[in-house]
Structure 1
Amino acid sequence: MEKAKMSAYQLFTLILLFELGTALLFSIATDAKQDAWLAALISMAGGFCLFFIYYGLYRYYPDLPLTEYVQRLLGSILGKGLAFCYVLYFVYIAADILRAFGELLVTIAYPDTPVFIINVLFILVIVYTVYKGIEVIARTSEVLFVGMCLLLLSGFLLMMISGTIHIENLKPILEEGLSPVIKTAFNRTLYFPFGEMIAFAMIFPYVKEREKVKRTGLWAMGMSGLILALVAAGNISVLGLDLASHAQFPLLASIQSIEVAGFLERLDIYYILFAMIGGFLKLSIFFYVAVMGASHLFQVKHPSRLAYPMGIVILLGSIASASNYPEYIQQWRVVVQPYIDRPLQVIIPVLLLIVAFLKNKKKAV
């Protein structure tokens, strides 16, 4: 492992910004209609369960990242195979985030600029950050956390002042019962963004205040879940159900509706700043854990040397993943969530925790 440490507060800011990341920018839980905010809260509860699974594995192996302790649990051959799958998964998600970020900026700000150019510029900054290590990413998150809080608070305040919020758009609550809400929560929103916390199974060993990891993680996930629920409710309140469900970027449409005193309007910069902060932090985390996982797996003495070649892989992957934005979204919903996210975020960690429990029980006996 890299010889670095972070504080519990830095872990809190990392998790909060990571969870908000791209989830603020795109529609979540839209299948639950006007109850999308409730689906976000239910999936947050499911996210707590996943966090306890990842934390349970961390308790058994507090000094090892995910790609190391799977080899302890499953043996050299099977363990290395699974560790390699997780490295590929982290690379794939990083490429996905980069593609989403590029498409977003092309759509709302730079329509005449190729996605590839935007992705190149963004990945160069990320590569440099990852090359510097987890301590730099953690310190950066402290600064970005303050910026994100100011943006969220001022954005909600401006929406309230402008009078665009119509609470009646959230009614009727549970019109079709609780079943569609639960189905949406556990088929969609649980994996994005809460299940993506699997990346922190690679980061927990860097926290120097180990006794605070559980409390810090739960607080960060709880706050991010509440914010996402508020944003989902706010989008529906401002735009109405139909527009909020079909808008490509609902938060952007909500921000564009703000008009205060006849001159404070078209605040698209808010959305772009959300995208820059969330995309930067989330991509940095996935990129970093991919680099560290590969260095553990292939026994690279200086992990930072992998940053540049893996940056090229992620850049090329972001372009090759889909030919256009609708295809990218369809691929994510139909293939990635059910067949990649579900096993790697839920099924395999549960099985690993069972194996860890049985192995450590035998040792105790």
Structure 2
Amino acid sequence: MLERGKISGIALALILINLVGATAVVALPAVTARSALRDAWLTPAVSAVSGIVVILLVTALGRRFPGKSLIEYTQDILGSWPGKAVGVLYLFFFFQSSGVILREFGELLSAMIMPRTPILVFNTIIVLLAAYSVRSGLEVIGRLSELLLPWVIILYYVIILLGLQKADFSRLLPVLENGFAPVLLASLTPLGWMGEVLLLGMLLPYLSKPCQGRKIGIWSVGILGFLLVIDEIANITVFGREVTRLKYPTFMIPSEILLGGFLRIDALFVILWTAGLLTKLAIFYYVSVLGTAQLLNLRDYKPTVLPIGVILTAFSILSFQNAVEIPTHITKGFPPFAYLFEWALPLALLLIAIIRGFKPKY
């Protein structure tokens, strides 16, 4: 195995929660409210169901090929060359997602800290930080997640609760006034986001107790759905219909709160989101590097970290002409693209594995 480190169940759960939550908490309310309005708080529950389906698919595959990642067992299922072709497609999915995360990260820092600084500077610094984490190995990323992410989540939601001083819970009523169809329509975009838990297929072989992967994954998606429901309710009750006009409404909730008269909570909010995004980027970067090494049958993945980082930085700059294109891609371009890799391909791989007689080993 290229990666000899192991991660605990808690670390895996935090990684999976952060994979989706790091970006969904700030973008989800505005996206879902445009279709579901006051019922948008129901959309995380719907998307959580799809996340559980993805967990069931990847763990069903993982149980048939213990010790192997998604990139590796596609070759067992489909044969060498067809399996490698599917592996290349998955690497593109991981790499493309990494590039979008990096560009979004850079745009945030550029807008919030130094607007006149070229975004290339921020993206280069971010990639170097992520590359250091990736070279350190999955075990280090897992321990960092255990140390950092619980505080990020706790402080994040404490800030949201503090920001509920202007909340009007009557804005949630009446529930399902227009039926459930608008909720389903609003769930189409977050369905693609929630499916990012597919990365469990790359991390499962390195879990200290792989047999617990399914249970941990399902619990992670359930907790994530609950946290996103709270986030949705906070935005709807504070902003009402205005939430549809805001780009990142969650950032606006604590904007008027002060600590000690000198520390703005919205600045702390951005710092927390930065920590979450960096961890998310590190995981996507890691599976891109690890998958590349596995596909090329390399003995070590570390020599590929910096070259892929350079390509990733260039891709993040060249893939979008400006910041306006990013939300459009995230809400319209990414979900259909994600459905193929998160649902269709894993389901097809599982059916072929069953037909070919591969049975669960645990």
Name the stretch that deviates more: 47-56 or 149-158: 149-158
| Distance (Å, rounded) in 1 between the aligned partners of 2:174 and 2:268 | 30
2:292 matched to which residue of 1?
294
Name the stretch that deviates more: 171-180 or 95-104: 171-180
Aligned match of 1:62 in 40, 63, 66? 66
- Relative to structure 1, the CA distance from residue 363 to residue 216 in structure 2 (aligned partners, 3 Å threshold; closer, same or farther) is closer
Output the amino acid matched with 1:316: A
| Distance (Å, rounded) in 2 between the aligned partners of 1:345 and 1:143 | 29
Displacement after TM superposition at 1:203 (Å)? 0.5
| Distance (Å, rounded) in 2 between the aligned partners of 1:39 and 1:349 | 24
Output the amino acid matched with 1:201: G
Verify: 1:76 aligned to 2:80, yes or no.
Answer: yes
- Relative to structure 1, the CA distance from residue 229 to residue 53 in structure 2 (aligned partners, 3 Å threshold; closer, same or farther) is same
- Relative to structure 1, the CA distance from residue 310 to residue 48 in structure 2 (aligned partners, 3 Å threshold; closer, same or farther) is same
Do the aligned partners of 1:99 and 1:319 also contact (CA within 8 Å) in 2? yes
The TM-score, its normalising length taken from structure 1, stands at: 0.93
1:12 matched to which residue of 2?
13
| Distance (Å, rounded) in 2 between the aligned partners of 1:134 and 1:362 | 28
Output the amino acid matched with 2:317: I
| Distance (Å, rounded) in 1 between the aligned partners of 2:151 and 2:88 | 36
Displacement after TM superposition at 1:183 (Å)? 2.2
Unmatched 5+ stretches in structure 2: none
Displacement after TM superposition at 1:169 (Å)? 2.0
2:348 matched to which residue of 1?
351
Paired residue total: 357
- Relative to structure 1, the CA distance from residue 7 to residue 363 in structure 2 (aligned partners, 3 Å threshold; closer, same or farther) is closer
Displacement after TM superposition at 1:152 (Å)? 2.6
1:195 matched to which residue of 2?
195
Name the stretch that deviates more: 304-313 or 32-41: 32-41
Output the amino acid matched with 2:158: S
Deviation readout 1:220-251 (Å, 9 max, x if unpaired): 11111111111011011112222x11211111
Q: RMSD value over aligned CA atoms?
A: 2.0
- Relative to structure 1, the CA distance from residue 176 to residue 53 in structure 2 (aligned partners, 3 Å threshold; closer, same or farther) is same
Displacement after TM superposition at 1:333 (Å)? 3.1
Output the amino acid matched with 2:145: S
Give the percent of matched residue pairs that are identical in Structure 1 and Structure 2.
29
Name the stretch that deviates more: 165-174 or 23-32: 23-32
Displacement after TM superposition at 1:260 (Å)? 7.8
Output the amino acid matched with 1:34: R
Displacement after TM superposition at 1:121 (Å)? 0.9
Displacement after TM superposition at 1:331 (Å)? 2.9
| Distance (Å, rounded) in 1 between the aligned partners of 2:360 and 2:232 | 48
Do the aligned partners of 2:64 and 2:360 also contact (CA within 8 Å) in 1? no
Displacement after TM superposition at 1:174 (Å)? 1.6
Unmatched 5+ stretches in structure 1: none
- Relative to structure 1, the CA distance from residue 21 to residue 362 in structure 2 (aligned partners, 3 Å threshold; closer, same or farther) is closer
Output the amino acid matched with 1:136: V
Do the aligned partners of 2:42 and 2:229 also contact (CA within 8 Å) in 1? yes
Displacement after TM superposition at 1:159 (Å)? 2.2
Do the aligned partners of 1:164 and 1:257 also contact (CA within 8 Å) in 2? no
Deviation readout 1:150-186 (Å, 9 max, x if unpaired): 31342134224xx22111222232232101101221x
Output the amino acid matched with 2:20: E
| Distance (Å, rounded) in 1 between the aligned partners of 2:5 and 2:360 | 30
| Distance (Å, rounded) in 2 between the aligned partners of 1:361 and 1:313 | 37
Deviation readout 1:228-280 (Å, 9 max, x if unpaired): 111011011112222x112111111112143689x477422232123212111
Verify: 1:29 aligned to 2:32, yes or no.
Answer: yes
Aligned match of 1:176 in 175, 178, 198? 178
Do the aligned partners of 2:43 and 2:183 also contact (CA within 8 Å) in 1? yes
| Distance (Å, rounded) in 1 between the aligned partners of 2:163 and 2:72 | 47
- Relative to structure 1, the CA distance from residue 138 to residue 181 in structure 2 (aligned partners, 3 Å threshold; closer, same or farther) is same
Verify: 1:115 aligned to 2:119, yes or no.
Answer: yes
Displacement after TM superposition at 1:362 (Å)? 8.7
Do the aligned partners of 2:17 and 2:220 also contact (CA within 8 Å) in 1? yes
2:265 matched to which residue of 1?
267
2:146 matched to which residue of 1?
142
- Relative to structure 1, the CA distance from residue 260 to residue 120 in structure 2 (aligned partners, 3 Å threshold; closer, same or farther) is closer
Output the amino acid matched with 2:269: Y
1:127 matched to which residue of 2?
131
The TM-score, its normalising length taken from structure 2, stands at: 0.93
Mapping of 1:135-284 within 5 angstroms? 135-160=139-164, 163-185=165-187, 187-192=188-193, 194-242=194-242, 244-258=243-257, 263=261, 266-284=264-282
- Relative to structure 1, the CA distance from residue 306 to residue 248 in structure 2 (aligned partners, 3 Å threshold; closer, same or farther) is same
| Distance (Å, rounded) in 2 between the aligned partners of 1:229 and 1:306 | 39
Do the aligned partners of 1:255 and 1:270 also contact (CA within 8 Å) in 2? no
Do the aligned partners of 1:19 and 1:221 also contact (CA within 8 Å) in 2? no
| Distance (Å, rounded) in 2 between the aligned partners of 1:361 and 1:130 | 32
Output the amino acid matched with 2:68: L
| Distance (Å, rounded) in 1 between the aligned partners of 2:57 and 2:359 | 20
| Distance (Å, rounded) in 2 between the aligned partners of 1:205 and 1:88 | 21
